Structure 1
Amino acid sequence: MKKQLFNYETLLKITNAISHSKDPEEVVLITVESIKTALNVKGCTLFLINRQTDELEVAASFGLSEEYINKGPLSALKSIGDSLKEGPVAIFDVADDPRIQYPEAAKKEGIASLVSVPVVSGGRIIGALRIYTAEPWEFTLENLNFIQAMANITGMAIGMARHLRGMKESIEVLKTLRDPRTLKSKRRTPFEGVPRSVSVAH
């Protein structure tokens, strides 16, 4: 990962790719691939929080092996939990840091350093964006701010895509309700709405 890659050109490439997607699943896939490629890092993974289990579940990953991705459950509270509470967290040596849940798996995967930043949507933390490097990397404040900006954009894109999907589903439901084949007759009879206990003659 080279310092000159942290610039507006990189940000433009990534946001341009994300902006063309209107589906949440596609947004996360494009995000991790674009970030990994643009920053020339080993890998990039986007996690979303499962509120029922308090675990970080992989939404999309690019550059990492299936074995590493499926290494085991990640606790949102234990796995670099500070990054979900206090902001970006950079780890220089993943093989020797107590915040890493699976240090041996990271070493086997060839991961040297990583940075984890929260992903926010609608003012709520929904997950984490993590970038992995093959060589030890001392992330600067500029680096962290740049990666956090990308995570913020990702969160907004996911939120908008989910909102758009919800709107589309609502429109389809309304279309079904308005379908003449599914509607009952709207013509009212003289006796419609009269309580059964009341005599019609009166």
Structure 2
Amino acid sequence: MTTNSNVTNSSPRSHRDYYTALYQAALTISSSLELDQVLQSVVTSTTEAMQVKACGLRLLDPDTGQLRLSAVYGLSGSYLAKGPVDVVHSAIDSEALRGSPVFIPDARDDQRFQYKGAAKEEGIVSVLCVPLEVHGEAIGVMRVYTSEPTTFHEDDIQFLSVLASLAALAIDNARLYENIRSSYNGVMSALWGTHMNP
């Protein structure tokens, strides 16, 4: 089998690893309301199952137009401190937030990637980015990074998209729980506030 000297075709990842990671993510989401713990588990499982350098999950702040880091595995502190990720300056994220997976073969010289110099210093080459969607609305993105030129297959894209959907579900559940708890506390304060705070 021949391969292009500039692109290394990734060997198909193990479906068993993918099933295990999906099962673990679903189990974690169903058994915990600790959102930080759930999202950290998702990015860690993704990195290991896809055999990539790193995975990160960012949520969109609609007030600032920035994607704020919520969970990450495999990236250095110096890379994470490179600066804010602005949707208007990051074509890869803008495209993903419109609902489509985006693949960048080489982030070191692709104009769609906001921090090309930082990617080179970090040893990042290929990037795959998918949207996190809740009720049809994109609320963030999930990315995986490789340290060598990589071709992602359809199975890889589907796997990452499913995990992103599970992460989005966890986020939605956590927000719903927080709203219910706040409403409950508000009702209790209204009922008992005068007795609790004379």
TM surpasses 0.5: yes
CA distance in 1, matches of 2:154, 2:45: 22
SS of the residue corresponding to residue 58 of structure 1 reads strand
Pick the structure with greater CA Rg: 1
Counterpart contact for 1:17–1:34, Cα < 8 Å = no
Task: Tell me which amino acid in the other structure corresponds to 1:46.
Answer: L
Task: Tell me which amino acid in the other structure corresponds to 1:76.
Answer: V
TM normalised by structure 2 equals 0.84
- The residue aligned with 2:26 is 15
SS of the residue corresponding to residue 101 of structure 1 reads coil
CA distance in 2, matches of 1:175, 1:33: 39
Query: Match for 1:108 among 86, 105, 121?
Result: 121
1:174 and 2:151 matched: no
1:3 and 2:17 matched: no
Which protein is richer in helix relative to its size? Answer: 2
Matches within 5 A, 1:13-92: 13-79=24-90, 80=92, 81-92=94-105
Counterpart contact for 1:84–1:128, Cα < 8 Å = yes
- The residue aligned with 2:163 is 150
Counterpart contact for 1:118–1:151, Cα < 8 Å = yes
CA distance in 1, matches of 2:159, 2:125: 20
| Higher RCO (Cα < 8 Å, 6 or more apart) | 2
Same amino acid, percent of matched pairs = 33
Query: 4+ residue runs of structure 1 moved beyond 6 angstroms?
Result: none
5+ unaligned residues in a row in structure 2: which ranges? 1-9
Task: Tell me which amino acid in the other structure corresponds to 1:167.
Answer: I
Task: Tell me which amino acid in the other structure corresponds to 2:154.
Answer: L
CA distance in 2, matches of 1:165, 1:96: 42
Task: Tell me which amino acid in the other structure corresponds to 1:4.
Answer: S
- The residue aligned with 1:133 is 146
